Every structure is written in C-alpha cells, then in structure tokens.
Chains A and B, each alone.
Chain A
Amino acid sequence: MARKITIEPITRVEGHGKVTIQLDDKGKVTRSRFHVVEFRGFERFVQGRPYWEAPVLVQRLCGICPVSHHLAAAKAMDVIVGTGPDGLTPTAEKVRRLMHYGQMFQSHALHFFHLASPDFLLGMDADPSVRNVIGVAALNKDLAVQAVLMRKFGQEVILATAGKKIHGTGAIPGGVNKNLSPEERDSFLKGPAPLNIDQMIAWAQGALALFKDIHKKNTDLVDSFAAFPSNHLSLVRKDGALDFYHGVLRAVDAEGHKVLDDVDYRDYLRHIGEEIRSWSYMKFPFLKALGKAAGWYRVGPLARLNTCDFIPSPLAQKEFEAYKSYTGGKPNNMSLHTHWARLIELLHSAEVIKELLLDKDLQGTKLVKRGKKAAEGVGLVEAPRGTLFHHYRIDADDRITMANLIVSTTNNNEPMNRAVHWVAENTISGKAEITEGMLNRVEVAIRAYDPCLSCATHALGRMPLEVTLCDPHGNVLQRKVR
C-alpha cells in the first residue's frame, strides 16, 4: 500500500516546518517535500508605517537573527535618507559591524552547539529523549559551559551596540544612536576570564578542532551525506574578501565559474527571480541568468566560503586555506561541510570583533549623516544563514508603500528540498522498516542549513477556508474567512 510519512514539527531548527515523503506500494520514495507552514504578511502590514519604523518592526520576523533584519532595513533606509550605501560615518559603520559580527558569533555558536552538535556527539540514531543540548551537557559539561558563554558574549556585544540583546534599536536611518563607551570596550577586551575576546577566539578554535575530529572519525558520512552540486550566492567585499555587512553580489556555479560578479545589489531585481509553488508558503529564488530550472543556489556559510577569495583575518584565513585545499580549490558542495564553514566564520567573527574593539572610531561622536531624500531603498547583508534582501518604497509623506523581502532561508529553499530528497532516496527508499534514526537524518540534512523558519514565514499565503474557533468555555467565537 502506498504510504505517506510526515515529520512534524521539525525540531532543533528555528521556526515551523514539516516534511512529507510519499512512498509507493514497494516502499520506494516517489516524492519528498519540505513545507514551510507559517506566514505573517509583513509585506502588506508595514505599508502605511513611517519608514524609520522599518528597522525595529521588521526585525520581529526573527528573534534569532533580529540584528540581520535590523541592519538590512537600516541599510535600505540609509539610501532613502540620502546617506547612500557607502556614506555612513566611520563610527556608525563600525558600530553596526560590531553589532553584526557579535550576532554572527552568537548565532553560529547557538547553531553548532545547541542545535546541531547532538547529532554528532550523541549520534543520529541516539535515543531522541537525550539527543539534545541537555544530553550534550550531561556528556560534556565543559563544552556546554563554553557554548553558553560564547552565546552570552555575542549577546552582550549586541546589547552594547543595539541597546537590547533581542530586538534592539541601535541602527537608525543614516547611522546609529550610540557609540561604544571605553568601559564597554574594556569589558570585552579585558573582561574577567572567561568572558573576554581572547578566550572567545580560543574557544572558537576549539570548536573547529572538535568538528575536524568528528570529520576525521566519520569522513565518509560527513563527505557524502546530502552532497549535491549547486550554484552559490553571497555578498563579497569589493576586493573579493569575505564580508558579512557590505559588498557586491557574486554567484559561482558548482565548478566555480562566476555567474554574477561585482553586481551592485541595488540591481537585485535584474538578477534574482522567485518562483511560487502551491505546497509551501516559502518562495523558490533563482538566478535569472540561468533560469528557473538551473538557477537555484545555496546561501550561508558553505556558499560564502565558495564565493569569496579570501578571509580578511589571519587565523580564519589559515583555516580557510586548509578547508579549500580539501576540495582542491573547487567549490564545496557537501551539505555537512556547512558546519565546518560555519565554525571558520565563528572564528573569523571573533577576530573581527577584536579588531573593531581596538579601533578608536568606535568612540567617535559623529553618529548620523543625512543627504538628499530618495523614494526607494534596497539593503542587503549576509545574515548568519545567508544573503538577506530588503527593498522598500516610500511616498511623499514618508510612509512605506512597498516592501519586498527575500530572507536567507528562502534562498536555501530548493537546496533544503534537495537535501531532504537525498536522504529520502538514500536512507528510506525501499527499506522494510523505517526507524526514528532514519527520520532524524532527514532533519539532520535540513539542520545543516540552519534554517530560520521564523524568518521564512514573513510571507502570508493560502486562501483561508472556514475555521471554527472556540473560547475556553466552548463557545464558538466565530470564523468565516476568505
């Protein structure tokens, strides 16, 4: 008999998703799908709001990487207030960078230790009741303490630059609303052990060593699991360096040939298209140059280390060279190597935080610049999970009239579907018995992309049918929707 497997909810990811796998009467997989099942409607309900609210409103798409949305919206608003994408004061740009790299550090630490590491340290087939961060803490308390304190350090950097750890207000159109005080700077540079930047750099190196050890012991698994060729997209600095905050768009194909290079991201509409499929609220982006069928791409740590030419910090650059030599300099298309790339970025983030802390511009007092007002603005950043696009138009009364958002996780929609299909084909298809461990492998494949389904649900969809809703006393509240 034909069957359908549903994995719901997908856990140890941020947000709401589910997977369906259709099997025929012989147990062969006939179809697999990764569905995003939620929606918010940001594009519509920010209309009519004053433009300067966007950086604080839209970040509430996501509590894990609110800084990314905060900064992408602020960058779009820089264009609208005439500061332009390159016109911030040095203090404003560097305070924003510190905020962003602090976020990258906390988010990457959270993803690796809290969400992904149980699959590697306890095993993909481990008892699901202990296969979690609590199980990791029971196994290795020191590692759990490191994980907690690394995340804390990143959150403290965000607090010092944005005013709040989650949903801060630091970036405003044309600049920032505070600088970094010498006391704040010193607490990060010379804070009592272990909460200082040198300890963070050392722990990031430790995390990389841990992953490399896992890789060494499980080389076949880590190299083959959900590996498939794809295009890769990210921002890179003008000179080809890895940069999370600002740059130009570059895309390479699976062999490393450049599909896009040195593209001003304000022209994104010319280069990026999106497809809608009826079974997911999340759209499917593609490179217009290659078309819908062949133009899908990966974003995030794996993609960034495939598009950039080098990493502008010494320790991470050394790790990058070893990482690149593993694939002979060619793009890396192995899904689980995303963890390796993510930890190299973790180390790089810590190095950049230190470099910024030592920069006196952070104590500067010129925080905001304004220029000639524009009616439209596009802002991009590299969020922890990948390239994030924000695009707004405003009217003569400064109210938002149009918002278009392509979030990182949406960019990875097709790759995550391919990864799910790979696992369905390779571990589930044709098997007499389907174990919990097999199903967890589907989630392991999704988790590698660190999807933020909270972000992905900003779009709102589906024609509503009739729903009846009752209050706590059983009274029907109503429902007739269309």
Chain B
Amino acid sequence: MSKPVIATASLAGCFGCHMSLLDIDERILKLFELVEFNKSPIDDIKTFTKPVDIGLIEGGCCNSENVEVLRSFRKNCKTLVSVGECAIMGGLPAMRNGIPIRECLEEAYLNSPTVDPADRLIPDDEEIPVILDRVYPLHEIVKIDAFLPGCPPSADLIWEALTALVEGRPLNLTYDLVKYD
C-alpha cells in the first residue's frame, strides 16, 4: 500500500506552527517513514504532483496569493487542517482588521523614521500580490475539516492529530493537549 501523502503551507503565519511540527523531535524520522511529503516549504516540490491525503495550513489569508494557495490546497487535499490561531481566526496579524488599510500603509512606508521623506513611497509593482482589506481565517474561504488550536499548537497535539488522520481513527485531543496561548 502506498503511504499517505502530506502537504503543508504557511500563509499569513510566522512559521511557528511548522516549527512546532519539527518539535515532535525524534518522531519526525518516524513521520518520514509513515508518510510521503508533497508540496511543502521544507522540500522543493513547488506545485502539487499527486493527490494529497492531508493538507496542513498555518496562517490566515492576508493577500490574493494566500487565497490562491489555499484554494489549490482545497482542490488537491482530501482532508484540510487549519493549524494554529492564525489559520483558525486570523491570529495576531488580524489585529490590523480594525484599522483602515490606508493607515497601515502610511505607517509602514510614509511615516518610517528611517526613510528619507523625499524617498517615501508605497510599493505597488505588479509582481507583488494585492493585500486584502482584512485578514481572513481559512474556513471563511474554503471548507476546513479539522482545527488544531494554539499559538503554536503543541508538538504533541500536532503528532496526535497527524497520526490519527493517517491511521483513520478519531482525534483524541485530551484537555492537556489543547492550549490556546
């Protein structure tokens, strides 16, 4: 039987959830034996090369590129998991949601004390994606099948969830595994 296939992505996150996945430590070598990795920032597979069983996504959607990547994950993954606060509810980047976008732009680029006033401009090249009006949690854009809370979710939580999904058994997330900070 072929191994279950896993893909991962970080959208508007900080990579902390990917780091927490690596914090499963020695179990990572077991994971490499249990599953096959497809598209992920830890390897060089840049577009899906086969159907994927489990997609793990950290980060919410803050720009048009995040939305495209999320949709391609939904299309290619049987089970899609929101990993961490940002994926589940926008997380810390969503602190900008109550602020008009214009003010964020001006603060970062037009009010910067390190930039000479004569040189101040807002980047707008066609090569960089369009930013959304606010940061969206993943389930507001596509259907999400499972949610792993935490900032980041603990390594034990990620391990328990991943092995349960791989083995096709129900998640057994005990109280001590689930943390929200």
Residue in A15, A40, A281, A472 whose beta carbon sits within 8 Å of that of B93 in the complex? A40
Is the CB of A330 closer than 8 A to any CB of chain B?
A: no
Residue in B13, B107, B131 whose beta carbon sits within 8 Å of that of A43 in the complex? B107
Whole-angstrom distance between the alpha carbons of A398 and B127 in the complex?
40
Whole-angstrom distance between the alpha carbons of A479 and B101 in the complex?
13
Is the CB of B92 closer than 8 A to any CB of chain A?
A: yes
The segment out of B21-29, B160-168, B169-177 that lies at the interface is B21-29
A61 neighbours in B (Cβ, 8 Å): 14
Is the CB of B19 closer than 8 A to any CB of chain A?
A: yes
Identity of the chain A residue whose Cβ is nearest the Cβ of B31 in the assembled complex = A134
Find residues 71-116 in chain B having any chain A CB closer than 8 Å to their own CB.
91-93, 95-96, 99, 101-105, 107-109, 111-116
Is the CB of A306 closer than 8 A to any CB of chain B?
A: no
22 contacts across the A-B interface (CB closer than 8 A):
A15-B10, A35-B127, A41-B96, A45-B104, A60-B151, A128-B43, A134-B37, A137-B32, A145-B26, A167-B16, A278-B124, A283-B115, A454-B10, A454-B14, A461-B109, A462-B130, A462-B131, A464-B101, A464-B132, A467-B130, A479-B132, A481-B132
Is the CB of B67 closer than 8 A to any CB of chain A?
A: yes
**Could you say which of B22, B103, B122 has the most chain A C-beta atoms within 10 Å of its C-beta?**
B22
Is the CB of B42 closer than 8 A to any CB of chain A?
A: yes
Is the CB of A133 closer than 8 A to any CB of chain B?
A: yes
| Beta-carbon contact of A132 and B42 below 8 Å | yes
| Beta-carbon contact of B114 and A273 below 8 Å | yes
Is the CB of B1 closer than 8 A to any CB of chain A?
A: no
Identity of the chain A residue whose Cβ is nearest the Cβ of B91 in the assembled complex = A60
Identity of the chain B residue whose Cβ is nearest the Cβ of A481 in the assembled complex = B133
Residue in A8, A272, A464 whose beta carbon sits within 8 Å of that of B130 in the complex? A464
| Beta-carbon contact of A60 and B104 below 8 Å | no
Q: Other than A43-B107, A134-B43, A276-B120, give 11 A-B pairs with Cβ distance below 8 A.
A: A16-B65, A38-B62, A57-B95, A62-B15, A66-B14, A152-B25, A165-B19, A166-B20, A276-B119, A278-B123, A280-B128
7 tightest A-B CB contacts, nearest first: A63-B16, A279-B125, A132-B43, A41-B104, A44-B107, A128-B44, A481-B133
Identity of the chain B residue whose Cβ is nearest the Cβ of A41 in the assembled complex = B104
Whole-angstrom distance between the alpha carbons of A274 and B163 in the complex?
47
**Could you say which of B15, B17, B46, B140 has the most chain A C-beta atoms within 10 Å of its C-beta?**
B15
Is the CB of A185 closer than 8 A to any CB of chain B?
A: no
Closest Cβ of chain B: how far from A325's Cβ, in Å? 36
Is the CB of A117 closer than 8 A to any CB of chain B?
A: no
Whole-angstrom distance between the alpha carbons of A50 and B115 in the complex?
26
| Beta-carbon contact of B16 and A462 below 8 Å | no
In the complex with contacts A66-B16, A469-B141, A275-B127 CB distance below 8 A: no
Whole-angstrom distance between the alpha carbons of A469 and B134 in the complex?
11
> For the side of the interface on B, what is the size category?
35 or more
B29 neighbours in A (Cβ, 8 Å): 137, 141, 144-145, 148
| Beta-carbon contact of B63 and A38 below 8 Å | yes
Task: Encode B25-58 as 1/0 by CB contact (under 8 A) with A.
Answer: 1101100100001001111111001000000000
A165 neighbours in B (Cβ, 8 Å): 19-20, 23, 155
| Beta-carbon contact of A276 and B140 below 8 Å | no
Residue in B15, B109, B127, B143 whose beta carbon sits within 8 Å of that of A14 in the complex? B15
Is the CB of A131 closer than 8 A to any CB of chain B?
A: yes
B63 neighbours in A (Cβ, 8 Å): 37-39
Residue in B14, B104, B127, B141 whose beta carbon sits within 8 Å of that of A472 in the complex? B141
Is the CB of A459 closer than 8 A to any CB of chain B?
A: yes
Find residues 154-176 in chain A having any chain B CB closer than 8 Å to their own CB.
155, 164-167
B128 neighbours in A (Cβ, 8 Å): 35-37, 279-281, 461-462
Whole-angstrom distance between the alpha carbons of A36 and B42 in the complex?
18
B102 neighbours in A (Cβ, 8 Å): 482
A13 neighbours in B (Cβ, 8 Å): 41
Whole-angstrom distance between the alpha carbons of A460 and B119 in the complex?
17
Whole-angstrom distance between the alpha carbons of A131 and B130 in the complex?
32
Find residues 15-71 in chain A having any chain B CB closer than 8 Å to their own CB.
15-16, 18, 20, 33, 35-41, 43-47, 57, 60-64, 66
Closest Cβ of chain A: how far from B178's Cβ, in Å? 15
Identity of the chain A residue whose Cβ is nearest the Cβ of B74 in the assembled complex = A472
Is the CB of A12 closer than 8 A to any CB of chain B?
A: yes
Whole-angstrom distance between the alpha carbons of A12 and B122 in the complex?
29
| Beta-carbon contact of B127 and A464 below 8 Å | no
| Beta-carbon contact of B41 and A479 below 8 Å | no
A134 neighbours in B (Cβ, 8 Å): 32, 37, 43
**Could you say which of A38, A406, A463 has the most chain B C-beta atoms within 10 Å of its C-beta?**
A38
Identity of the chain B residue whose Cβ is nearest the Cβ of A466 in the assembled complex = B130
Whole-angstrom distance between the alpha carbons of A461 and B124 in the complex?
8
Task: Encode A443-482 as 1/0 by CB contact (under 8 A) with B.
Answer: 1000000001010000111111101011110000101111
Is the CB of A285 closer than 8 A to any CB of chain B?
A: yes
Is the CB of A263 closer than 8 A to any CB of chain B?
A: no
Whole-angstrom distance between the alpha carbons of A132 and B43 in the complex?
5
Residue in B18, B62, B91, B115 whose beta carbon sits within 8 Å of that of A39 in the complex? B62
Identity of the chain A residue whose Cβ is nearest the Cβ of B38 in the assembled complex = A129
Whole-angstrom distance between the alpha carbons of A404 and B114 in the complex?
8
Find residues 86-132 in chain A having any chain B CB closer than 8 Å to their own CB.
110, 114-115, 128-129, 131-132
| Beta-carbon contact of B140 and A471 below 8 Å | yes
Closest Cβ of chain A: how far from B117's Cβ, in Å? 11
Whole-angstrom distance between the alpha carbons of A34 and B113 in the complex?
24
| Beta-carbon contact of A149 and B13 below 8 Å | no
A149 neighbours in B (Cβ, 8 Å): 25-26
B19 neighbours in A (Cβ, 8 Å): 63-64, 165-166
Identity of the chain B residue whose Cβ is nearest the Cβ of A135 in the assembled complex = B43
Closest Cβ of chain B: how far from A328's Cβ, in Å? 35
